[in-house]
Amino acid sequence: MGDHKQDNKGIYKIDSKLSSMTWRGYYVFLFDQHHGSIQLVKGQIATENNEIIKGEFEIDMQSIKNQNLSINNGRTELENHLKSDDFFSVNKYPKAKFTITKIKKEKDAPPGERLITGDLTIKDITHPVTFPASISFTKNSMKTSTKFKIDRTKWGIKFDSGSFFRNLGDGAISDAIGIELNVVSVK
């Protein structure tokens, strides 16, 4: 993985300033969506023989931001709604966490790509998620990038979900939330 042949054994701490996490929410029937960012606070990844062996990081749920609306066009209202009990209940559950439980190299995967499985905890509810990630090393850092979707209803986020409520019409919100992660970790 990467061009460096050194062992890369050790602990990499997540650089929250260089790392990014974005989210995307969708309507079921409308060609419309919202997207924004959320901040990785801290975390670390352990490696051995150029492979991730374990890791975890923390997400600041209070940092959730919208990036497709202007302040005059509902941005603050949407951010406050996402922070409310309808969605992430950030006053009660200010942090989310992801803990790596398994790393697998798929038979025909491109170099540096691994299948990562881990426990995602949101609102004190934990479920496993699995996603492909691209991992590369430089001399003193590691970059991990991925895109995946989760079913928000597994974490008790049911607001305007067509799976739970009828007669929502075009206003139904998809149960899927898209997540894009670019994690930079340094030794």
Instruction: Return the beta strands (E) in 124-172 as ranges.
Output: 125-137, 141-151
pLDDT at 45: 95
Instruction: Please count the other Cβ atoms lying within 10 Å of the Cβ belonging to residue 90.
Output: 20
Whether the Cβ atoms of residue 16 and residue 48 lie closer than 8 Å to each other: no
Angle 177-129-117 (CA atoms, 0-180°, nearest 5)? 140
pLDDT at 63: 97
pLDDT at 7: 52
pLDDT at 49: 82
Q: What is the pLDDT along the chain (187 residues), one digit of tens a residue?
A: 444 445 557 899 999 999 999 999 887 766 678 899 999 999 999 998 888 999 999 999 999 999 998 988 889 998 998 999 988 999 999 999 999 999 999 899 888 999 999 999 999 999 999 999 999 988 889 999 999 999 999 998 887 655 544 554 555 677 889 999 999 999 9
Judged by DSSP in three states, 81 sits in helix
Whether the Cβ atoms of residue 119 and residue 137 lie closer than 8 Å to each other: no
Judged by DSSP in three states, 20 sits in strand
Closest C-alpha to 65, from 88, 98, 93: 88
Q: Residue ranges of the alpha helices (H) in 41-122?
A: 75-83
CA distance 157 to 32: 20
Whether the Cβ atoms of residue 137 and residue 114 lie closer than 8 Å to each other: no
